[in-house]
Structure formats: structure tokens, C-alpha cells
Structure 1
Amino acid sequence: MKRMALGWFVNFMPPAWRTPWAGTDVADWADGRFYVEVARALERARLDFVVLEDSSVVPQNHGGSARTEFMVTTKAPKNDPLPLAGAIAAATTHLGIVTTMSTSLYPPAHLARLQASLDVLSRGRAGWNVVTSFEEQAAQNVGLDTLWEHDQRYDRADEFVDLTQRLWRSTRDGTPVEHAGRFFTATGRFDAPRPPQGSPVLCQAGGSPRGLDFAARHAEVVVAVPQGVEAMARYRRDLRERRERAGLDPDACRVLFMVTPVVGETDAEARARHERMWAPTDWNLLRKLVFASNTAEIDFARFDLDEPVPADATTNGAQSLLEQLKVRTRGSSLRAAFAQDGLAESLPLVGTPETVADRMQEAMDVVGGDGFLFFHGGGGLLSRRYLTDVLDGIVPELQRRGLAQREYAPGTFRDKLATA
């Protein structure tokens, strides 16, 4: 079996602040030093890359107020990931650095220039996590009245990515860019440095059918959250078939599944920690309600917690999450669904490092997948203790089995990914 590609998904937000292991980082998280330390730890463990998530609103979807968001910090407060990416680039040598930028909120030339600059600053380690955004407040923050409907956002994103690729190519050959498309125009020479990689590595998280088409056409790394090994295998097979129909090499795109491992010195200890983490407390229920409301752009506070999600519920936000909750609550209830594991993980991983590595290896044997993206649930949860559990427990066990790299290959971020 080939080695896994491994990354970590983080939010530039306050780290753990309600646990005994919170430390003092909540007081000065905004200066970025905690996340620079995280990046150094990821590089020490020889992970492939870090993804810096972004959104630009204080959500008010749950109950029509920002109050609960500030109580649980799933999406706010948050700093911009691009300056943090520069700091991480200066503090590391090999780690890929993927920044989230929206095709709905940035002009194409501005985004292309920023990404080219990050690729230069990092000496060829930049990646772009392509998102289309779905928050109406985000649109209003940049002078728009509203965002486009779901599929049209992807139509625009297709043209946006094609145009940015032309802009990056122009830095290599000096050709002026003349573009008059359906959504965007560009004229003249592009004033930007030449990216060492030619273009940043493109990352995307397509969940809906239209999102999967977009990911299949453009992405080199796909972040996925299907639930369970069978669903993971179907997702990867579907994406590869879409790439083949588009005339693209399916092996040139890596699918990484989101996971939140819970580790202990014994399996029993890990199970006890896992039960505490997802216990159906008032706090955990509120956090999941707020997270779901903000991600799906639906106020889940208006639904009966002891009933399933209404079958006719629709959204212009994250459709995959809404559909996941409809499936989870079929014949059950929202309350029962939220008492399960996290909404943002594909595979429960609970046990000793050996047990967790076994489960990861078995899953990849079935899925034929490419690796995993570690995630600890968004703002207010990540701690140095959790990093240690994964980086000094699970990753060395994967390395001993030849499933994770012990040393970095030479070259750019894209070159290194090619070895996975």
C-alpha cells in the first residue's frame, strides 16, 4: 500500500478555552504565534500540509442572533489566514500551506496576485482552498446585496479558476491576458511575481453533485466528509469517474477524508474520552446546533429537536450537511443525531495509536483512498495536548508501518504530494 497523504485543517480562531488543557493561548491567539507553533509541530511530524480555513462573518443564523455564536465560537471571532500563511512560511521549510479564498468575494486578478506572492514567499509551498461562499452576510460585507444560487456560484467559480490559471501562465510567458467571459473580464498584463510552482496546488471540498463536478475538474486535493467506509469508497469512486469523463487523470487528484481521532493509552481509556467528548450535554448540543445552523444557513433552533429534519427543508448554503442530517434523523431525531460523533468526520477513530492506525489502514484498503485530514472541530477546541496525541502517537505508528512519510521529498508542495 502506498503511503497516505496527511494534512491538518485549522481555523485561525481562539483555541481550546473551556477545557482543563486550554493553557493561556486564548488570551493572545490573535497574534498567530499559537498557529505558527502548530505548523512547526506538523512539520516536525512530517505532515504534508496545513489548511487554513476562512469565513468573514459573525453568523446570526441560530436564533437570529450572534449571541450563541460568541458563546460557542464555531466560526467567530476569526482572523484572516493570508497574513498567518506568510508567518508560517517564514517559520517552516517543507510544509504545504493551503489558504482558503472565495471566488465570490475576491476579484480574480487580486486573488491570483495574492496566491502568486504566497507561493514566492513560501518557495513553492502555496495552495488555494477554493470555496464559493454561501453566507449572505459575507456578500454584504463586500458590497453585494446577496450571493448567487448554489449552482451558479459554481458556474462562476469554473470561469474564475480558468481565468486565474491564465493569469498565472502569463507570469511565465509574459503574454497579456484578454478575457471577456460570462462573469469576468480581464485586459492587459498581469502584475504579479512568477509562482515557483507555476500555480498553487488547488484544494476543494465538493459535496453536492455540482460541487463534485467542480472538484473533479479543478482540484488536486479534495477534502471529503462522507460518513463511513462504504460512503467514503462511493465518494472517491464517483469523483474519479467524473475526472475520467472530463478526460483527466484520476490519479492526479487525492481525496483526503476528515477525521478527529481520540487516543488513549488503552482502548478503554480512549473510549471513555470519546464518550466525554460527545456526551449529550447542553453545551455539546448547543454547539452542534449553532455549527449546523451556520454551515447550512438554516436556523435549526426552529426545528423540533425530538423530530427528524423536515424532508422539504432546503438551503442555498452547504447542501451536503443538510442532506447528511436528513439521513441521520430519518426514523430518529435531531437530538439523537447530535448525540452521535462529530458532523465533520468521515470515520470514528478511537483507541490506542495502534488501534487507530489499524482502522485507518483498513479503511484505505477498502476505499483505495489517498489519506486523511485531521481536524479537531473548529474554534475553541484545539489544544497542544490534542496535537501531541495525534502527532506523537498516531503519526509515528503510521510511519512505522510505512503508511506515512518519515522525511520530505525534495521540491515544491506539488512535487512532494506526487510521492503520496
Structure 2
Amino acid sequence: MQKPLHLGWFTNFTPGDWINPVSQGTGNWDGKFFVEMAQAMERACFDYIMLEDTLMVSEAYGGSAAATLKYALQVPKHDPLPLVSMIGAATSRLGVVATMSTLAYPPFMLARLASTLDHICGGRFGWNIVTSGEDIAAQNFGLEKLPPRETRYAMADEYVDLVQKLFGSWQPDAVVKDVATGTYADHTKVAPIHFEGQFFKCRGPLNTVRSPQGQPVFVQAGGSPRGRAFAARHADSIIAVGNGVEGMKAYRDDVRRHAVAAGRNPDDVKVLFLVYPILGETDAEAEARHQRMVNSPGFVEAALAAVGTVTDIDFSGFDLDQPLPRLTTNGEQGSLDKFAQWGSGKTLRQLAQERFDAGIPMIGSPDTVAERMGEAMDAIGGDGFLISTPFQRTSRRFVSEVCEGLVPALQRRGLARKAYTKTMLRDTLREF
């Protein structure tokens, strides 16, 4: 019998489904919508909620922020870290993963913040490791442009090595709380790290108590060959995109080979593929919803602008009814490759309309989509899916459709857990 799928949800602290009066999303910026969403996910026994983040107002599309702001594409976006504390306090088993860029945080500050959040969440915090892929983000931190991608990954490797040493600067038994001697922590078990690398230097130790998990869970998205090697070396869970079952299987197999080469057990690296299910009471209703979405005014422009925010490419100058020429980027090359479907002959308009198509039919009733998810994962070999919504327009209706419709359909097939057996996130990921 096939083992259950690991399930996560990819979202961010944005306005939600602001455009649809039938299913309004967040409504305001107090974070309560996301707390309620996380509680629904916990009832459905998801592994984790993943809070994506970026650090700029993109001007990639047309050389201005007009489309970005018009369609609320990644902007406005509030800082996910305070939201982590709110969700962690309101849940007890669900993992809470947040994005923090190696561009934005000095390593010591990131390690200290991550350790603090892991305590607040009771050992359920995860760090989504990103390097940031946009020059305009670099300019918000005093740089003219980002280093080349290969240099960014070399810096990120060193950065992660440094924060891991900081996480380990307190031994597991450093806190003794010996009332008789009046000793809270044993100074012989808390030590500086004296790290000095090519890019970073840090004395240490952390001034926070060791994390409940030893170190928070590491999550990463690696699309390019170098990115895959980085993710396989460090990540407990990988955010992946893929074109169809064959592409997803090839990606996962490649990541697992990289993990073995890095001396890791490949079963400790859980690959979750990003999907955008469109649900309805019937298959016909779901397909009608899909057609209304992709043919709605502004959808194509919004989709192209959205791709531009992560690839740092301006798609406004290309003919919508011609195939896209072969392109490279210093942004997210893996996202560009997935979007462009090189060699398919599809026009840019078709690519935009398929922007949220993972290559697996995810349009239908909960039972139909659950069946397809199970068949796909059986062919891929593991490990699960990250649920998301186009343009991050999450609504209460969609949360309910997934948590009270799709997940029960998966559970009836033995494809989703019905109860948590672990309390910490890394243990939940490694449960099966």
C-alpha cells in the first residue's frame, strides 16, 4: 500500500483573494486570517505552512511597478516572522516555515531569530533558505546588483555552515539549572565558534538557548543543477516545481542522488511539489472555474508580471502569440525553465495561461483530484505536495475546500495522515 503524502501549503502575508467578492481573503493586516487558516490545516494534519517572502517592489514587467501593484503581485507583503509567532502560539503540531534571505540578515541575527522562533513554536519552526534573485532587492540593502548565481550559492553554502555552527554552539546539556550551586548554564558547554570563511566571519556563541530541534528545519527550493546540489546538501524539505510526472520523478531522483553524494540519507530529504488545484463539487464546475480564471481580464498580464518578479525578466516586450526565445537569467533560472517549457512550441500567451499548471490535471472534484494526486505520487516515488493558489489569492472558501474536501478524500484513500504522531517538525517530516 502506498505511504501517505506529505502535505504543505505555500502562501505569503499578502492581501489574499481581494478581487473576488464571494470569497474574500485576509480582509485586513492583523494576521488573524492566516492563524485561522493554519488551525484548519492542523485539523487536516498538514506537515507545515510555508510563508514565502520577497524584499522589493518589482519593476521587472514593463520597467515599472504598475502591474506589480495593480494586481497585488507579491506586494503589498508584510514580514512573515511576526506571523510565525502568532501561528506558533495558536497551534500545537503544525510546522511553521518562514522565508529569510541570506542577503538581508547577518548570519548571527538569523540564527538567533530562528532559534527564538523554534522555541516559541515548540520545535516546529523551519527556515526557508533563499539568497534573493533580484537586483532591485539587492539595492534595498546597499548593493548595486546581486553577485552571479554561482557566487550566491557559494556564499549561501558558507552562510548555512556558519549558522549551523552557531546552532551547535550550545551543547544539548548546557542548561543545568542547578539550584544548589546557583548555576543556570554550564560555561564549559557553551563555546565560541571562531568562524572565518571567504565571505563571513563570526565569533559566536549564540546568546540563545539551543533550539528544541537542535537546529530548525531547513527548507529550500533548488531548480538549477547548482541549486539542487545546495538543497540536497542542506534541506529537510525541498520546494519543487516540475513539468508533469516524468519531470517531477527526474527532479526527485536527481535530488536524491545529490543527497547521497553529500553523505546524507536521501529519505531525510522530503521533496514537495508545488500544485494549484482548482476544486468544485463536480469536475464540470471545477473546469468552469478554471476557464473563468484563465480568461478573466488581466490574467495573462498578471501571470507574466508574476513570473517576472522571480525571474527578473521583462516579458512585456515579447509577442504574446509567438514562442518565447531561449532566455537565461541571474534570477530564478529553475522557475524560468519551468514556465517557458523550452521546445514545446507554445506561445507566450499559452505559457501564461498555463502558469499555474504543474503538468498534472488538478482540476476537478475533491475525489478526482485526490485520485490524480495519488497516481502521480505513486509514479514519482514521493514525497508530497505543496498546495498553493494563483497569485497567492488565498480565500476562506479555498481553505475549506482543501482542508474539508480534498484532504478527507486523500485520507479515505490512505494518502494523508489522520492524526499526528510527532510533536516536532523534523520528526513529522521523517515519520514516513
TM-score class, shorter-chain normalisation, is: over 0.9
The answer for the alignment partner of 1:365 in structure 2 is: 378
Does structure 1 conserve the Cα–Cα contact (< 8 Å) formed by 2:130 and 2:220? Answer: yes
SS at match of 1:31: coil
1:418 is aligned to 2:430: yes
CA distance in 2, matches of 1:181, 1:325: 36
The answer for the alignment partner of 1:335 in structure 2 is: 349
Deviation at 1:162, TM superposition (A): 0.8
1:300 to 311, 315, 333: 315
SS at match of 1:171: coil
One-letter amino acid of the counterpart of residue 284, structure 1: F
SS at match of 1:52: strand
Does structure 2 conserve the Cα–Cα contact (< 8 Å) formed by 1:296 and 1:315? Answer: yes
Query: Where does 1:89-128 land on structure 2 (aligned, <5 Å)?
Result: 89-128=88-127
Deviation at 1:346, TM superposition (A): 5.2
Deviations 1:108-128 (A, max 9, x none): 111000000000111100000
The answer for the alignment partner of 2:180 in structure 1 is: none
User: RMSD of the alignment, in Å?
Assistant: 1.5
Deviation at 1:271, TM superposition (A): 1.6
The answer for the alignment partner of 2:206 in structure 1 is: 190
SS at match of 1:348: coil
CA distance in 2, matches of 1:246, 1:399: 35
1:326 is aligned to 2:340: yes
CA distance in 1, matches of 2:359, 2:72: 22
Unpaired runs of 5+ in structure 2?
172-188
CA distance in 1, matches of 2:7, 2:196: 39
Structure showing the higher helix proportion among its residues? 1
Does structure 2 conserve the Cα–Cα contact (< 8 Å) formed by 1:96 and 1:126? Answer: yes
SS at match of 2:218: strand
CA distance in 2, matches of 1:337, 1:140: 30
Q: Specify whether residues 329 and 31 from structure 1 end up closer, same or farther in structure 2 by C-alpha distance, changes over 3 A only.
A: farther
Deviations 1:239-296 (A, max 9, x none): 11111122211111011011111122222222222222222x4411111111111111
Q: Specify whether residues 215 and 270 from structure 1 end up closer, same or farther in structure 2 by C-alpha distance, changes over 3 A only.
A: same
SS at match of 2:195: strand
1:394 to 396, 406, 410: 406
The answer for the alignment partner of 1:9 in structure 2 is: 10
The answer for the alignment partner of 2:34 in structure 1 is: 35
Does structure 2 conserve the Cα–Cα contact (< 8 Å) formed by 1:15 and 1:22? Answer: no
One-letter amino acid of the counterpart of residue 252, structure 2: R
CA distance in 1, matches of 2:191, 2:428: 29
One-letter amino acid of the counterpart of residue 330, structure 2: N
One-letter amino acid of the counterpart of residue 324, structure 2: V
Mean Cα displacement is larger for which, 58-67 or 261-270?
Answer: 261-270
CA distance in 2, matches of 1:402, 1:208: 33
The answer for the alignment partner of 1:347 in structure 2 is: 360
Query: Where does 1:186-225 land on structure 2 (aligned, <5 Å)?
Result: 186-225=202-241
Q: Specify whether residues 11 and 248 from structure 1 end up closer, same or farther in structure 2 by C-alpha distance, changes over 3 A only.
A: same
The answer for the alignment partner of 1:79 in structure 2 is: 78
CA distance in 1, matches of 2:192, 2:371: 53
The answer for the alignment partner of 1:152 in structure 2 is: 151
The answer for the alignment partner of 1:161 in structure 2 is: 160
SS at match of 1:256: strand
Mean Cα displacement is larger for which, 46-55 or 270-279?
Answer: 270-279
Deviation at 1:24, TM superposition (A): 7.2
Aligned residues: 414
